[in-house]
Amino acid sequence: MKIALLGFGTVGSGVVEVIAENQESINKRAGSPIEIKYILDKRDFEGQPINKLIVKDFNSIIEDEEVEIIAEAMGGIEPAYSFAKAALARGKSFVTSNKELVAKHGAELLELARQNKTNFLFEASVGGGIPIIRPLNQSLTADEIYEITGILNGTTNFILSKMKNEGRTFEEVLKEAQELGYAERNPEADVEGYDACRKIAILASLAFGEHVNFEDIPTTGITKITEEDMEYAAQMGCSIKLLATCQKQEGGIFARVAPSLISLEHPLAMVNDVFNGIFVKGNVIGEVMFYGKGAGKLPTASAVVADIVDAAKHKGTNIISFWNKEKLELKDKGQVKVSYFIRVQKDREDINKCIEAIFGKVTEVKALANEYAFITDVQTEATFSEKMNALGDIKVKSKLYFIK
Amino acid sequence: MKIALLGFGTVGSGVVEVIAENQESINKRAGSPIEIKYILDKRDFEGQPINKLIVKDFNSIIEDEEVEIIAEAMGGIEPAYSFAKAALARGKSFVTSNKELVAKHGAELLELARQNKTNFLFEASVGGGIPIIRPLNQSLTADEIYEITGILNGTTNFILSKMKNEGRTFEEVLKEAQELGYAERNPEADVEGYDACRKIAILASLAFGEHVNFEDIPTTGITKITEEDMEYAAQMGCSIKLLATCQKQEGGIFARVAPSLISLEHPLAMVNDVFNGIFVKGNVIGEVMFYGKGAGKLPTASAVVADIVDAAKHKGTNIISFWNKEKLELKDKGQVKVSYFIRVQKDREDINKCIEAIFGKVTEVKALANEYAFITDVQTEATFSEKMNALGDIKVKSKLYFIK
């Protein structure tokens, strides 16, 4: 079974390494020997054994009838999207770790794969090496999924874990993460939640069967989390995590990415450092969670190679999946029911009365000096916004979703 | 797609309930409507809608060409084993939640399924609803697995969690678990570790590709764990869990079931109450963990029905799996390297010197009154046994594996 690899960066070189390292068992599981025939990359790799596989032109790959599987690890929408379409149209399987591509064009590429009796596989696009796409597609088939909540970004989880354990500021820890190579020089995609947003869009589309536009998902990052927020969390027996979630709620489906307070009793609270955790609720299975390294060269390559094996085993047959092109209309954000943890400046003695006058009954939380802190009842976002506006000159220091 | 169900007990009735509840999505995922044509049970269910499906004779099921999948939820070796062989020999898929059957005859039944281009599926036999068999078989295919360690028995985990949280004795908590229906009247299979032993034998066979005899796995239950052990665990920042493990160690593979001390930092430490957790290490993926309800009517039925869906999708093709009939010779127990936590009676002032004279350097642990407690270096079980014998009249109060 001849394959081609697009891109020889971190993940691409990991794929070469994994196939070399575990050749024997991989070939056994794939049912035939897997051989990399081409690697598409702009650069030359003089003196390295893979240099003889390097090609600069995608056409030499697509025109080669021997190549049955193409694995893409370039990232970004183009040219990955065009390459995927060309490969699938020719009946070649296309495997990718590219979350941007899958979030934007997943439904269309799955449909193209179906039409051409081939496969579009993307286990590595969410949760790195953690098996989640295949379990959702093939294991949780007896269930109606009604919630997926995940810690889907290792960089932000590393930052939040460090802030919690070491009482340091976001800026300090981000700098350290950048020095360690855990965060990019331009960290926006991670710390603003954009990466997690694409991943939850993919999971929501698979779980609910219709295409969720990632642009429709309200997304907040972790840049405004402070040491004081962390102190409150610890005192409340909670942890602050960047949670990406999609849930059925009173008929509609909502999704969001936002830093949230969860109880230390919640299985996701123990997902620390660069690890990811994906928590799934189904109507018969109850709660299950998948945990592991959500990024990194070898874990991600492990998922890409597992997809290559699956593509080899399913040559000529499409693996059913339930993500169709119809757009899933997410529930209006204002109608989603939520509970918030709020910190306000205690600029008057009767602040508790003011808050109660606006929010009704709240759960007061032991506060830092000159602050008043509380947890609201469950209410719609729209109602909550109105109440926040009614605060007038009372200064809000922080607000975080509170997950019961 | 007509199916037959063997046994209408807890799991069997759950299967009927799940198929009725999620009919639409299950049929969509299976690719054709799933219909229960027969239920084999000795009893009658007068007045219940399923009564018309009840048959008393397996022959009426096996002789019916329309029945393509048989799901077994009776438990025990016979007649389940004979039924499985008969079904597979006729090319019918056989799905089971029966860990005794799978641990004892899994290799043979998988082989029979291969020969007859049909499937023997057993996702529900380990970890209840948690997807673990299918991920091992189909997701972690790029990896060489070198360790699986699991909390595989919900009853014992419930008991240990209660003992830890409430400072109560094993006997007290067992009694409560029996009253709550979490433990059987005869709790031996759970509390002596026999249930976990069969489950780890199944996982080891799948991970390492050869048949692991469950009788070969050294198995210790939790009946001797005391409140004092729990106090030590808490003080050491550890938790006591009944761990079932199989690992590659210096070329050989060992397996065991035993109560063990693990650090609270270990992901398995947060698997509490009736939940199960299965921790897998691979040479490229690193660490992944699967978490969920390991037992119970609906979670187990969810896994059975997911297997039925898979069997329906793979009609006429065998799903490859790598558990063959060759027997895996486990590493000699004496050669396995281990570390122990030990408590001895402090019947002399220079007890630390005596211990050091026998064990060499040990890590002393802050002890209860009249006790001396320590952690040994890593050594073989054989060496450890010799040293324990050398203790002579020094009374050992407790010994537990210590997992680094």
Residues A286 and A168 reside in one and the same domain: yes
Q: Is the pLDDT of residue B271 over 90?
A: yes
User: Are both B159 and B22 inside the same structural domain?
Assistant: no
Confidence label for B281 from pLDDT (cuts 50, 70 and 90): very high
Q: Which pLDDT does position A181 carry in this prediction?
A: 86
pLDDT tens digits along B237-251: 999 999 999 999 987
Split at pLDDT 50, 70, 90, the class of B93 is very high
Same domain? For B94 and B231 the reply is no
Answer whether residue B305 is part of any domain. Answer: yes
- Of A327, A129, A45, A297, whose CA–CA distance to B289 is shortest? A129
In chain A, how many domains are there?
3
Give tens-digit pLDDT for B199-246.
999 999 999 999 999 999 999 999 999 999 999 999 999 999 999 999
Whether residue B44 is contained in a domain is answered as yes
One-letter amino acid at A1 equals M
Within this chain, do residues B111 and B38 fall inside the same structural domain, yes or no? Answer: yes
Same domain, B187 and B237: yes
Cβ neighbours of B127 in A, within 8 Å: none
Percent of chain B whose pLDDT exceeds 90: 96
Q: Which domain holds residue A358?
A: 334-403
Is B56 known to be catalytic? no
Overall average pLDDT of the B94-105 stretch: 97
Interface of B with A in 290-329 (CB under 8 A): 290-293, 296, 298-299, 301-306, 308-310, 313, 320, 322
Q: Do A156 and A270 have their domain in common?
A: yes
Residue A285 has its nearest CB partner, among B31, B143, B292, at: B292
Please name which of A354, A360, A336 lies closest in space to residue A396, comparing C-alpha atoms: A354
Q: Please state, rounded to an integer, the average pLDDT across all residues of chain A.
A: 96
B281 in any annotated domain: yes
| Predicted confidence band of residue A107 (pLDDT cuts 50, 70, 90) | very high
Judging contacts by C-beta atoms under 8 Å, the chain A residues touching residue B313 are: 320
Q: Under an 8 A CB cutoff, do A292 and B285 touch?
A: yes
Residues A148 and A271 in one domain: yes
3-class DSSP assignment, residue A143 = coil
Mean per-residue pLDDT, A308-334: 93
Q: Same domain, yes or no, for B341 and B357?
A: yes
Q: Which residues pair with B121 in a beta bridge?
A: B95
Once rounded to an integer, what is the mean pLDDT over residues A92-113? 97
Do B140 and A305 touch, CB atoms closer than 8 A?
no
**Does A182 score more than 90 pLDDT?**
no
pLDDT beyond 90 at A320: no
**In this complex, which of B22, B283, B288 lies closest to A143 when CB atoms are compared?**
B22
Chain A partners of B267 at a C-beta cutoff of 8 Å? 270, 291
pLDDT of residue B109: 98
Tell me the C-alpha distance between B86 and B102, whole Å.
Answer: 16
A136 in any annotated domain: no
**What is the pLDDT, as a whole number, of residue B392?**
92
How would residue A223 be classed by pLDDT, with cut points 50, 70 and 90?
very high
Same domain, A152 and A125: no
B142, B23: one domain: no
CATH number at residue A213: 3.30.360.10
pLDDT value at residue B320? 82
Chain length of chain A: 404
Interatomic CA distance for residues A30 and B141, integer angstroms: 8
Confidence band, pLDDT 50/70/90 cuts, at residue B311: very high
Q: Which of residues 74-133 of B touch A (CB under 8 A)?
A: 123, 129-131
Tens digits of residue pLDDT in B41-75:
999 999 999 999 999 999 999 999 999 999 999 99
Determine, yes or no, domain membership for B63: yes
Q: How far apart are CA A149 and CA A401, in angstroms?
A: 13
**Claim to verify: residue B235 and residue B90 sit in the same structural domain:** no
- pLDDT tens digits, one per residue of B140-192: 999 999 999 999 999 999 999 999 999 999 999 999 999 988 889 999 999 99
| CA pair distance A288, A150, nearest whole angstrom | 12
